[in-house]
A and B are shown apart, each in its own frame.
Chain A
Amino acid sequence: MSEQPSSFIERLRTIVGDDGLFSEPQQLRLYMYDGSIDRALPIAVALPRTAEQVAGVVRLCHEEGVFLTPRGAGTGLSGGSIPLCGGVVLSTARMKAVLAVDTENQTVTVQPGLVNLDLTKHVAPLGFQYVPDPSSQGACTIGGNVAENSGGPHTLTGGVTTNHVLELELVLADGERVRIGSPAPDPPGPDFVGVVCGSEGTIAVVTQILCRIVRKTECVRTMLAAFDSCRAASEAVSAVIASGIVPTAMEMMDHPALSAIEAFSHAGYPVDAGAVLLLELEALREEVEDAAPRVVEICRANGASEVRVAQNDEEREALWKGRKKAFGAMGRIGPSYYVQDGVIPRTRLPEVLERVEQAARKVGLRVANVFHAGDGNLHPLILFDDHDPDQAKRAIAAGEEILRACVEAGGSITGEHGVGMEKRDYMVLQFPKATLAAFTAFRDACDPGHTLNPYKLLPSGLGCAEGGKRQKTMAQMQELAERNAAVGDAY
């Protein structure tokens, strides 16, 4: 840095105004966290109101070589919005506007700090919805969703964030403002919007998003099927797909998860079951009425001891209630948990779930599974006691073992939570050297100084060296757990 921090902060203040800057320690402490296990303190938090202000902040950091970490709501589960090397946090909390709704073209223009659920609430009275619905939708932002390419329970047929974004306005690492994509289909040239989705704030700050919205489906039917084991439930998932029916959601909860959820939210789940599947069909009325009994039959044929079909909206909400509060419920069965996000081909579910169980048993910990079975996107929650530093170490070891199992089954280390800082050193498990070199070269080409969200996404050996050494102290793990439980409670 070529100047004293104080004068740097004054220059920041001239860009975002007095009320757009936090630099007091007690304010900064609120920005140390996201939903994962790491933490770090920024030197300042800028809360711009406009894209010009964002560009001003980014340019200043670029010129002065100060690290800058974009931040939405901080619900991320991979440490993405943690200012690992200090520097400035750029929060989009004051950029929450819906700028335009175009029902004819079925699009909405929004600022990045808009909360996901607020977008859906905004268009619901017009008969529309925004499809990607992460379980954190009551808090997470559209900008964060774009940066993580977030999914949710309904992505099986609906796709993830990248499938619902048409155009982006960005501030690049040097402060240049650009627009990519188009309100018209298939613009010529490479799909730049697709490349920026999921880039975790490392190549640009997203300042405006043109989202696709869709009309609400005519008929929704939700059902719950109870099985003896995860294996039986997994086989039912494959059998449903094989029958030619593709439900919009197929969520699985295993026995430990069920007990915790039931104790926490009294959703009325069958606690004796070995595993439960939550299935949702969304289509034309005739189609749902035709498919629903077939799904029930397939579940029964695969050993379901009980199948409940929601008869109305109230019953449907009750069925979802437990699932949506699942992470928060884990506090009932363990002081803390460490969640993984590996993906595997759906047909490998039974064997990989067994390996998950073994990985936890090997280190003497328990694991609960609540996940997007239809996509093969696992969320094993490794339960540990945060007062025992050794358990934390073992939880991390089990996590790594699980990710190895996912990659060996032909899958991925992350399906929706992102690499962030948490999984960057596992990237080598999944990708050959040539791929990692290309990622690094792309990062270098976009942001040669790596000032945007440094030490994220790329393996630490390939990113900028030194400084961002990961620390996993017990205290951090505990805070993480509390925070997760608090966030989880909200949904």
Chain B
Amino acid sequence: MDVMERLRPSSYDEAARMLHEASARGNAAVVGSGSRDAWFPPARNPVAALDSAALCGIVRYTPADLTICVRAGTPLADVQAALGRERQRLPLDPWPQGTVGGLIASNDNGPLRTRWGGVRDALIGVRVALPNGEVARFGGDVVKNVAGYDLTKGYVGSAGAFGMIVEATFKVQPQPARSTCTALTGTLDAVATAWRTLRERALPFAAVEVVRTEDRWTLYALAEGDSVVVERLVRECGEAARTTGCATREAPPDEAAEHARKPAGARTWLRVGIPPAQTASMLASLAPDQHAVARPWVGIVEIFGEALGESDLTRILRDAVEARGHAHLRQADDDLRRLLGWWSIEQIEGGRTMFPMLKNALDPARHCNAGRTIYDQSE
């Protein structure tokens, strides 16, 4: 990748022109801040990389409409800061330095996925620079819109395969007035009973995370909202702790977030997605030196550590696939990578048929970020 040219378009039209010219010469890569670069297979032999850094800033923001339109190179942190000034937020919480374009393209979701859904639920429109030199707009600025195909969704998780996202519009929400995180600590069984009980009671926790802390497990339940809501949710946590025999305490705001950041610092990191009811058995199958952060109401389990070997990973991958789930080996050394590849998924045939349909429509020459998604590995 080091011989390639790095291009920084500063307008949408320029992005489309640069992408057009680059893809006429060969493969063109698209990059954001580069924070997740290592999570995907490298782009195949790019002659140029289009960098979104100069496509930065807020385009339109009317707080009363609860929507915001931003350029795709804007760091998520800047978007949140602008919203914060109006006491609003985008309920997405991956790495704040990452760009909005990278966030959409890698469809990464954090703890708030539990209550508010993921990128696909918040995103209502994109503008994209296409390899044919045109700028197209999908979706729009309004929260309900069924005019034409919802190709906006095709860009979620696209890893740049369908052109460069240059602008995005999101639904936003009022910032919660208060938030309190309660930690419940006990055996895995006790903690799992607690998260099931709380879920059955349909309690609107913003995030529910479970982590292994030494020989025990801790459940972090994030209560957000007006005081009356937070108080009620905290009370429910206390009740669940009592009936399950967990110890309970109020956790400092950053404690759960610190745990959520840990996988990214490990040598080996596997993200597993499974139907949520399988979370407890997946966690129970881990050896004590295999670290985990899980979102049990969603079905995301991040498994990481220094000691994760090929046989452990192979077993976890098999379990995930048997549970009709999927796994993404986000970080691994070269040996493991060679053995295990990047993804395991129960079935991908449907995607193998549909990916080329989107590709034919949006990047027929197949020069845009070639090789980065699960569906164009064999091309």
Contacts and interface: CB of A to CB of B under 8 A. Distances in A.
Interface string B349-362: 11101111110111
B250 interface: no
Interface residues of B, number: 91
A471 to B, nearest CB: 23
B14 to A, nearest CB: 15
Nearest to A441: B361
B226 A198 contact: no
Interface of A: 102, 104-107, 148-149, 151, 155, 159-160, 162-163, 170, 172, 176, 178-195, 197-199, 203, 214-218, 238, 241-242, 244-246, 283-284, 286-287, 289-291, 343-347, 372, 375-377, 410-419, 423, 427, 430-439, 441-446, 457
Interface of B: 62-67, 87, 107, 109, 113, 117-118, 120-121, 130, 132, 134-138, 140-159, 161-162, 173-175, 177, 200, 202-204, 225-226, 228-229, 231-232, 273-277, 298-300, 323-326, 328, 343, 345-351, 353-358, 360-362, 364, 373-375
Contacts of A430: 140, 147-148
B144 A416 contact: yes
A215 B147 contact: no
A438 B134 CA distance: 10
B349 A178 contact: yes
B146 A192 contact: no
Contacts of B130: 434, 438
B374 A186 contact: no
A244 B29 CA distance: 41
Given A290-B226, A416-B144, A194 B153 contact: yes
A379 to B, nearest CB: 12
A419 B148 contact: yes
Contacts of B204: 283-284
Contacts of B159: 189
Given A187-B326, A238-B64, 20 more contacts: A149-B150, A163-B121, A182-B273, A183-B324, A184-B299, A185-B300, A189-B351, A190-B354, A190-B358, A192-B350, A194-B150, A198-B150, A286-B228, A290-B226, A376-B144, A412-B145, A418-B146, A432-B137, A439-B148, A444-B361
A162 B350 contact: no
A184 B275 contact: yes
A377 B351 contact: no
A441 B177 CA distance: 47
Contacts of A194: 120, 150, 152-154, 156
A182 B328 CA distance: 15
A442 B373 contact: no
A442 B150 CA distance: 11
A217 B277 CA distance: 21
Contacts of A416: 144, 146
B360 A445 contact: yes
A246 B173 contact: yes
A217 B151 contact: no
Given A194-B156, A198-B150, A284 B273 contact: no
A461 to B, nearest CB: 15
Contacts of B373: 188-190
Contacts of A195: 149-151, 153-154, 354, 358
29 contacts: A149-B150, A185-B109, A185-B118, A185-B298, A189-B158, A190-B153, A190-B158, A190-B358, A192-B154, A192-B355, A194-B153, A195-B149, A195-B151, A195-B153, A203-B357, A215-B202, A284-B203, A287-B225, A411-B145, A412-B146, A414-B145, A417-B146, A423-B147, A431-B137, A432-B137, A434-B132, A437-B134, A438-B361, A444-B360
Contact of A190 (B132, B156, B323, B364): B156
Given A162-B153, A439-B149, A241 B64 contact: yes
Given A178-B354, A198-B150, A215 B200 contact: yes
